[in-house]
Amino acid sequence: MKILDNLGIPYNVNWTNSKSVSLKIDELGVRLNVGEKIPIEFIDAFLMKKKIWIKNNWKKYESARNIYLYLGKEVEGPIDEKFYRSETRRIVEGLVELHNVSDKFKINNIFIKSQKTRWASCSSKGNLNFNWKLAMAPYDVIEYVVLHELCHRLEMNHSNKFWNHVSDMCPDYKQHKRWLKDNHFRLTIW
């Protein structure tokens, strides 16, 4: 992995049974998933092709280092995970109460979790799970995530019918979804 060594970016290689190579970048560095039988030359060629993408995306994370957000705005000094968990719970529970009039969505429990790849999820039993980092996002974005999960209580998929429910409840949902995609690297603590 000389290419990653030369870039000076921390990385972790996870050897798998798959037949492919994939990578992800987060605040901890490059996460590389590699099939055990893939030749090192192929891995090096893959990394060489992705070199500029890796550098550019790592710069985003580095630029966000030591910048703390609360409801989408920068705040002074470090904030710990306990604060974000508490605030995410408070905000999410308030939004669920606001939008779940007459128990329309049949919510069982709300959990605040450390989800690595999701902002939230919904189970068929009516449990809603939310990422503790959501309190870093703007309020409207958090509301979109809550509404998205509530709509899953009506449609447990991402069909057109589901997105119609989301659009009815949150007409600007595409803007909020885009904000999460563009700013996910900022929603972290170092």
CATH top-level class of 73-186: alpha beta
> What pLDDT does residue 10 have?
83
Residue tagged 């919510």 (tokens)? 107
How do the domains of the chain map onto residue ranges?
Answer: 2-64, 73-186
Residue with tokens 């996460």: 31
Enter the pTM of the model. 0.76
**What is the rounded CA–CA span in Å between residue 27 and residue 64?**
9
Q: Which of 31-40, 59-68, 76-85, 109-118 has the lowest mean pLDDT?
A: 59-68
pLDDT of residue 190: 64
Q: What is the structure's pLDDT at 187? A: 85
Per DSSP bridges, beta strands 73-75 and 109-113 are unpaired
> For residues 83 and 70, what is the distance between their CA atoms, to the nearest angstrom?
10
CB 132 within 8 A of CB 85: yes
